[in-house]
Amino acid sequence: MKYPKIGIRPTIDGRWGGVRESLEEQTMNMAKTAKALIEKELRYADGTPVQCVIADTNIGGGAEAAKCAEKFSTENVVATLTVTPCWCYGSETMDLDPRTIKAVWGFNGTERPGAVYLAAVMAAYAQRGLPAFSIYGHDVQDAADTSVPADVKEKILRFARAAVAIGQMKDKAYVNIGGISMGIAGSDAQASFFQNYLGMRTEWVDMTEILRRMKLEIYDDKEFEVARAWAEKNCKEGLDINDDDSLQENIRRSKVVPYEEEWDFCVKHALICKDILFGNPVLAEKGWHEEALGRNGISGGFQGQRQWTDWLPNADFTEAILSSTFDWNGARAPIAFATENDTLNGTAMLFGTLITNRAPIFSDVRTYWSPESVERVTGHKLEGVAANGVIHLINSGASCLDGSGAALNENGEGCMKEFWNMTEGDIAACLEATDWRAANHQYFRGGGFSSHFITEAEMPITMIRVNIIDGVGPTLQIAEGHTAHIPQEVSKTLEDRTDTTWPTTWFAPRTGMKGFETVYDVMANWGANHGASVYGHVGADLITMASMLRIPVVMHNVEDVDVFRPHSFKGFGTKDLEGSDLRACSFYGPLYK
């Protein structure tokens, strides 16, 4: 992997003869402090620490700025953090590369006017049409204070986390296996969106490629044996709701893969989809050199319904396992892999996974259950985080097994973890919490298995959706809240009213803000039938990332004080942050356009 890096630019007062010399060590140390902070706290998707690179010298003017830019051009620097404790010459020291995402940390001290430089260079960036983030501590520090205040630390990490997420997407591919599923607009992959906003390529692979590779055995035979044995041991079968005798004869004839061969089929499907995205050198050893290369994927989706599932086992096993933080080989990075090839929800999954390094939950945003409706149907009065009602997140494909909330944190509470923190006990618990129910043959005539669990733990999560609006372009929706525990018998009654073969998460969004007046309003304002959820309240990080990509956030329940966008966005208005975001994103246009 070619890791995207954060370039750190220490800038300094250019006046030699006493002023600059007195600041050399302090300025460079500030850069080293920022580097140490980022590399300690942040990781890439594969678990390795994020890398930073520092300019060889402090930057006092244009010549040194050019040398820094030359160095960064060979280091895959995707974002720059300029740091300074003092006044510097704004337009002479600023990062002018239009390809890098920019931030400036000006030390809040009285001995030297770092804040004055920060204001001056922000004005320069705004005039040059180069959006940059302003980082400035709330409280004055002494000149000798080398600590990083909590508010500064938060902004530096938020900036770096979002920038590294963007860097990991660049030049990778979203791989569409199949096309549009059942008229779902999100399945219509817009190549221009991926190219202009995310810097990604779009790839298309017909679903018949899966059958070709099965027929010709273009997969790793040894890995298949391992995966199949693992599935037999760990994937326990659950309820079978089918009564095939009640189906009309042509529907019964549509199931062409015998029951006893379904698990073999489903496991091969998962192996092959993974190989299509990422390649597999073992295939070259078998003489399949083109297939061994893969598609340079970072995420993807499988159409399934209906041309596939009307006669072949569904892709639920593939979707659930690829999106989880583990498989038959043990713990590994989750893969954002979308049900029904909903590329826009796949993008939301990718955003959430890259920001958190945790597995994404793909769900139908199925039903709003008011407290009154729940009590009428079940006799139970909702309480706790669910007291104002819940949204039933349930997936007609399959969600990551991490979504069961069976992994435990240090306090013994259910959670979702980064793959490098998943213990064997956590993996076993997620598998134990999941049963694999026979696919509903009324929907999936070809059979297969759907992962089923009920999220019992109450966890902080953030639900995300990318939409494309004609006249606006791509937009982002964000809803922070909690998964809700509902008594088992009550949950079962509600589940049985839809399809009990699918995984269930009861979601209680945080309400009380505009657009989030009630849980009902969240459901009513959601832009599509799907949503992606990730562990933690990460709405502020997603807002920062979206502003870097120039994707306006049109719905969120993050407090204004936590919204961190480029400083020049304030020039488009400060009273209505949502409106200024829309105007700024429209003016600046896509990051890669």
- Between β-strands 173-177 and 201-205, what pairing exists: parallel, antiparallel or unpaired? parallel
Nearest alpha-carbon partner for 446 in 235, 262, 240, 295: 262
Taking 80 as the threshold, does the pLDDT of residue 142 lie above it?
A: no
Cα→Cα distances 432→125, 314, 401, 418, 534, Å: 54, 22, 10, 19, 21
Q: Would you tell me how many other CB atoms lie within 10 Å of the CB of residue 460?
A: 16
Mean pLDDT for the stretch of residues 299-322 = 95
Give pLDDT, residue 143: 74
Q: Is 479:532 a contact under the CB 8 Å cutoff? A: no
**pLDDT tens track for 464-475:** 999 999 999 999
340 is catalytic: yes
The closest of 262, 290, 292, 362 to 322, measured between CA atoms, is 362
Mean pLDDT of the chain: 95
The active-site residue, picked from 364, 456, 458, 581, is 364
The CA distance from 583 to 585, in Å, is 6
Query: How open is the CA angle 168-170-175, to the nearest 5 degrees?
Result: 95
Q: Rounded to 10 degrees, what is the CA torsion of 431, 280, 264, 227? A: -40
| pLDDT exceeds 80 at position 1 | no
Closest-CA residue to 462 (of 563, 554, 396, 539): 539
- Whole-number Å distance between alpha carbons of 472 and 231: 45
Question: What pLDDT score does 395 carry?
Answer: 82
CB 501 within 8 A of CB 490: no
> What is the pLDDT averaged over residues 111-124?
87
Backbone Cα Rg of the chain: 25
Q: How far is CA 223 from CA 48, 49, 229, 270, in A?
A: 25, 29, 10, 11
Does residue 475 sit in helix, strand or coil? strand
Give 397's pLDDT tier (boundaries 50, 70, 90): low
**Which pairing describes strands 326-327 and 297-302: parallel, antiparallel, or unpaired?**
unpaired
Q: Is pLDDT above 80 for 196? A: yes
Pure H helices in 135-288: 150-169, 191-193, 208-215, 221-234, 249-253, 262-278, 281-285
Q: What is the pLDDT of residues 268-282, one digit of tens each?
A: 999 999 999 999 999
φ, ψ at 524 (rounded to 5°): -70, -30
Q: How far apart are CA 568 and CA 213, in angstroms?
A: 52
Q: Which of 189, 172, 199, 24 is nearest to 100 (CA)?
A: 199
125 φ/ψ angles, rounded to the nearest 5 degrees: -60, -40
**Pairing, β 297-302 against β 336-339:** parallel
> What percentage of the chain reaches a pLDDT higher than 70?
99
Q: Which residue has the higher pLDDT, 122 or 111?
A: 122
Is 70 exceeded by the pLDDT of residue 593? yes
Q: What is the pLDDT of residue 169?
A: 98
pLDDT digits (tens, 9 = 90+) for 16-70: 998 999 999 999 999 999 999 999 999 999 999 999 999 999 999 999 999 999 9
Please report, as a single letter, which amino acid is at residue 150: A
What confidence score (pLDDT) does residue 110 get? 64
Contact between 326 and 427 under an 8 Å Cβ cutoff? The reply is yes
Q: Which of 197, 521, 228, 506 is nearest to 350 (CA)?
A: 197
Predicted local confidence at residue 139, as pLDDT: 83
Q: Yes or no: say if 325 and 332 are a contact pair by the CB < 8 Å rule.
A: yes
Question: Beta-strand (E) ranges in 55-124?
Answer: 77-84, 101-106
What are 334-366's pLDDT values in tens digits?
Answer: 999 999 999 999 999 999 999 999 999 999 999
Q: Is the pLDDT of residue 442 over 90?
A: no
| Prediction pTM value | 0.96
Are 461 and 413 in contact by the 8 Å Cβ rule? The answer is no
Residue 113 banded pLDDT, cuts 50, 70, 90: confident
Beta-strand pair 5-10/52-54: parallel
Confidence of residue 145 (pLDDT cuts 50, 70, 90): confident
Report yes or no: 11 and 69 within 8 Å, Cβ to Cβ: no
Q: What is the dihedral of CA 91, 92, 93, 95, to 10 degrees?
A: 60
**Rounded mean pLDDT, 313-333:** 97
Instruction: Mean pLDDT check: name the lowest of 318-332, 372-386, 490-504.
Output: 490-504
Closest CA to 545 of 79, 147, 122: 79
- Report the pLDDT averaged over residues 254-262: 92
Q: Rounded distance, CA 407 to CA 422, Å?
A: 8
Tokens of 498: 């839809």
pLDDT at 263 (0 to 100)? 98
Residues sharing a CB contact under 8 Å with residue 54, sequence separation 6 or more, in sequence order:
7, 8, 10, 28, 31, 32, 35
* CA distance to 56, 194, 245, 466, 468, per residue, from 473 (Å): 41, 12, 48, 10, 5
Separation between Cα atoms, residue 429 and residue 529, nearest integer Å: 30
In this prediction, residues 124-134 reach a mean pLDDT of 97
Q: How far apart are the first and last CA of the chain?
A: 25
Q: Which residue do the tokens 């659930």 mark?
A: 320
Dump pLDDT digits (tens) for 561-580.
999 999 999 999 999 999 99
Query: Which residues face 361 on adjacent strands?
Result: 533
Q: Point out the catalytic residue in the list 203, 340, 541, 581.
A: 340
Distance separating alpha carbons of residues 492 and 327, to the nearest angstrom:
28
Q: What is the pLDDT of residue 588?
A: 97
For 479-525, the pLDDT digits (tens) are 999 999 999 999 999 998 888 889 999 999 999 999 999 999 999 99
